[in-house]
Chain A
């Protein structure tokens, strides 16, 4: 069964510093996609970054980057130069190529200290 695990319920970072959120997943398929979504208090889920499993190069989007370790089934999110607006719930999600559903982890709450 496809699973996603986020073992950090809450993380805290000083403004302008760097923080890494952890995620591990399990899937029996060789083709799949991984995502990080941000959910601020407004509730609207926003895609932060996307990674295709067949690509070895780690995805980056401005201050956001991932460390994709396929053999270890690990997909961590690094946020550089943290800003107050980064404070939110962050969800890791996976999607198998044969499926249409996203499987989400339980989320990590990120606090940003001014």
Chain B
């Protein structure tokens, strides 16, 4: 049973560029959340997708956008990259419509903005 997968593993971009990160949820899961983890800090919630719609959003600017596909996979897009966007981006999947369900995390994508 494949767990949560993310691609790419590492990415280096220049300030001002745009980036797309991808996530495939664990089999049977229909909900995908994205988190940003800066070096030495805990993850911060970006947003969550359910039924192809953004269900909840954290305190991130509109430069951060996402999408969920009919097969439940998801993309995170970041426009106009800033140096401060350098971080580990984690995708987590879960099942169920309410809170309290275990969120299974992927290995993350390390984004470096130069």
- Contact residues of A with B, CB < 8 Å? 4, 32-33, 37, 42-47, 50, 52, 91, 93, 95-107
Most buried by B among A4, A52, A97, A102: A102
- Determine if A99 and B99 form an interchain contact, defined as CB atoms under 8 angstroms apart: yes
- Contact residues of B with A, CB < 8 Å? 31, 33, 35, 40-45, 48, 50, 55-56, 58, 88, 90, 92, 98-100, 102-108
- Determine if A101 and B90 form an interchain contact, defined as CB atoms under 8 angstroms apart: no
- Determine if B107 and A43 form an interchain contact, defined as CB atoms under 8 angstroms apart: yes
Q: Residue on A with the closest CB to B94? A: A100
With A45-B105, A100-B56 as contacts: A33 and B42 at CB distance below 8 Å: no
- Determine if B56 and A107 form an interchain contact, defined as CB atoms under 8 angstroms apart: no
- Determine if B58 and A106 form an interchain contact, defined as CB atoms under 8 angstroms apart: no
B31, B35, B42: the one contacting A107 at CB < 8 Å is B42
> Which residues of chain B are within 8 angstroms of A93 by Cβ–Cβ distance?
42
- Determine if B100 and A97 form an interchain contact, defined as CB atoms under 8 angstroms apart: yes
A21–B88 CA distance with the chains assembled, in angstroms:
24
Q: Residue on A with the closest CB to B3? A: A44
With A33-B99, A33-B100 as contacts: A100 and B41 at CB distance below 8 Å: no
> Which residues of chain A are within 8 angstroms of B50 by Cβ–Cβ distance?
100
